[in-house]
Amino acid sequence: MALTFKIGTASAAVQIEGDLPRTNWHAWAEKPGSIKDGTSPEPATGHWKRWREDNALMQELHLQIARISLDWTRIEPRRGQWDETAVARYREELIDLKERGIEPLVTLHHFSHPQWFEEMGGFAKEQNISLFIRFVAKILAEFGDLVSDWNTINEPNVFATQSFLYNETPPGGKSWRKALTTMRNFAIAHIRAYKLIHSTLDAPGRTINVSIAHHIRGFTPLNPKNPVHRAFAKIDDYLYNRLIENACYNGNFHPLLGRPPCDIQRGHYCDVVAINYYTRSTVRGLTDGVFPGAPVNDLGWEIYPQGIVECARELHERHRLPIWITENGTADNGSDTELERFRPKYLLDHFAAMAASGLPFERYYHWCFVDNWEWSEGMVPHFGIVHLDPTTLERTPKPSAYMLRDIIDQGKINDDIYQRYVK
């Protein structure tokens, strides 16, 4: 089975770097019970010091692309003060990736921002958007010659709901109003950043791609014959998936988000369909669920490979754009004798569904490269294709890493790969 899309990995600075100035997540981790295993973003995987080692390992595994984030806090640790040493260091890393033949996709906001910005109200206040756009302008001035592919914001729907509805991430709380206001402000920030990136970088002979990384999942009624389950599946889908999608892709703000500012009209504000897909939810109300007896990963999420195609097809039919899977992966903590138990099959099943779909998949970014700090879950769930020793921070590629290398080299999935890697 031939594969036509490029393959790489995705990461976020706070989850891997360590040695960071104070972010919103550093403050959150200090709250008792906020992180399940009591860890913090320090040292994570120690990537800030070991970045050359990680880039070299990516090259050894023949990875073609890498999604990374440039941490706002590191670049602007105090309001209005740029850390030029950090800028130079990030520039060095980007140049190194490109010299190794690995094309970077840069995320500008991946759940993390400076604590000083959080104390000003973060994205729950519209007047703060200008501070983010100022940061974007700085990034373009420093790195625009190196980077053509951009995610403005990662999973704005997840950020807003996990924080302000479920009180599971910073800044925390229980407020529908703040959740909707934050989604609205993220959409405004995305559209303004989209315009700025294109006006700054567009040039003859150069293709600039800008999108959000949209976490999308299918919502399936637990009992399709139950009208309540069917109704809530549609409600959940609209509130979680479509509300932010319509605003970010087309500038179409639902009344729940309020009217957009006068500088934003309906239009075209994404160049690719960029999807973060992990699972689907079974629905009987405004809650997540799993079908009885369905296969699950080590976090209890249903493993449903066909969902990656179902979600991609819906977005493609609405927007008619190329498709990038900007995150997909699974928590597989292995066993006492194995680094992983089911990740290779998980990947092959998702790739097979993508290849058979006929959809224009162009890129696949696996979440993640090295087992990292998984936000409020801490260091416990292992999503990486590379194992991290928690004491020494040494890296050890897992079977899935070598499987991806073989797939990249051969450009296809064959019986030999299945026999070698699937148990």
Which residue carries 């569904």 as its tokens? Answer: 353
Q: What is the mean pLDDT of residues 27-52?
A: 97
For the chain, give the longest Cα–Cα distance: 60
Q: Which residue has the higher pLDDT, 106 or 233?
A: 106
By C-alpha distance, which of 302, 364, 360, 293 is closest to 331?
A: 302
Mean pLDDT computed over every residue of the chain: 96
* pLDDT(288) > 90: no
Do β-strands 395-397 and 386-388 pair in parallel, antiparallel, or remain unpaired? antiparallel
Domain chopping of the chain, boundaries: 6-422
DSSP 164-219: HTT--STT----HHHHHHHHHHHHHHHHHHHHHHHHHH-BTTB--EEEEEEE---E
- The fraction of the chain above a pLDDT of 90, given in percent, is 96
The answer to whether residue 287 scores a pLDDT higher than 80 is no
- pLDDT bucket at 183, cuts 50 / 70 / 90: very high
User: What would the pLDDT profile of 309-338 be if each residue is shown by its tens digit?
Assistant: 999 999 999 999 999 999 999 999 999 899
Percent of the chain exceeding pLDDT 70 equals 100
- For 214, list phi and psi in degrees, rounded to 5: -95, 110
AA letter at 167: N
Per-residue pLDDT, 86? 98
Query: What is the model's pLDDT at position 423?
Result: 77
- 75-119 tens-digit pLDDT: 999 999 999 999 999 999 999 999 999 999 999 999 999 999 999
Q: Which two tokens stand for residue 13?
A: 């600075």
Average pLDDT over residues 200-220: 96
- Count other Cβ atoms within 10 Å, centred on residue 292: 7
In tens, the pLDDT along 138-172 reads 999 999 999 999 999 999 999 999 999 999 999 99
Paired with 151 in beta bridges are 107, 211
Fold of 6-422: TIM Barrel (3.20.20)
pLDDT, mean of residues 388-394: 97
Nearest Cα neighbor of 158 from 288, 284, 1, 262 is 288
pLDDT confidence tier of residue 1, bands split at 50, 70 and 90: confident
For residue 388, pLDDT beyond 80: yes
**pLDDT greater than 80 at residue 286:** no
